[in-house]
Amino acid sequence: MIAVKMPNIDESEVNRAALQAFFGITEDWKLTAEQQRVLLGQPPESTFFKLKKNRDGRLSIDQLDRISYLMGIHKALRIILGDIKEVERWIHAANDGEPFSGSSALDRMLAGKMEDLAAVRRYLDVERGG
């Protein structure tokens, strides 16, 4: 067995980058603070607003996973639709696709479970051909 030395990963830099991405995406999508909290896994309000203000703080693995899904969703939409205004429109628009049943992608994601984020991501991966 060959030992692989992993580079030192600065957890605070990972958290900072994840928060920058999260708030950038959710602001592009014109989400409210409450919607942002749901997507981030319902952290306490005081914690959420500190994270939002400072764009820095400790995130759980669950929160990092949630942000990863949102980054994948946003990237897929940018590839498929191109224009950020179209991305925002699509996120909020009713959709007859399989995981949405006439609701919007945002409605599905706001159900709050990790599986809801995963379902939107899978749908877009199929749409994108990936």
| 2 belongs to a structural domain | no
pLDDT in tens, the chain (130 residues): 565 555 667 888 999 999 999 999 999 999 999 999 999 999 999 999 999 999 888 999 999 999 999 999 999 999 999 999 999 999 999 999 889 999 999 999 999 899 999 999 999 999 988 6
What's residue 98's pLDDT? 87
| 80 belongs to a structural domain | yes
What's residue 4's pLDDT? 56
The range of the structural domain enclosing residue 92 comes to 11-128
Whether 96 contacts 102, CB under 8 Å = yes
| 3 belongs to a structural domain | no
| 29 belongs to a structural domain | yes
What's residue 29's pLDDT? 96
Q: Helix, strand or coil for residue 100?
A: coil
| 5 belongs to a structural domain | no
| 97 belongs to a structural domain | yes
Whether 74 contacts 87, CB under 8 Å = yes
Domain total of the chain: 1
| 6 belongs to a structural domain | no
- The rounded distance, in Å, linking the Cα atoms of 58 and 90 is 31
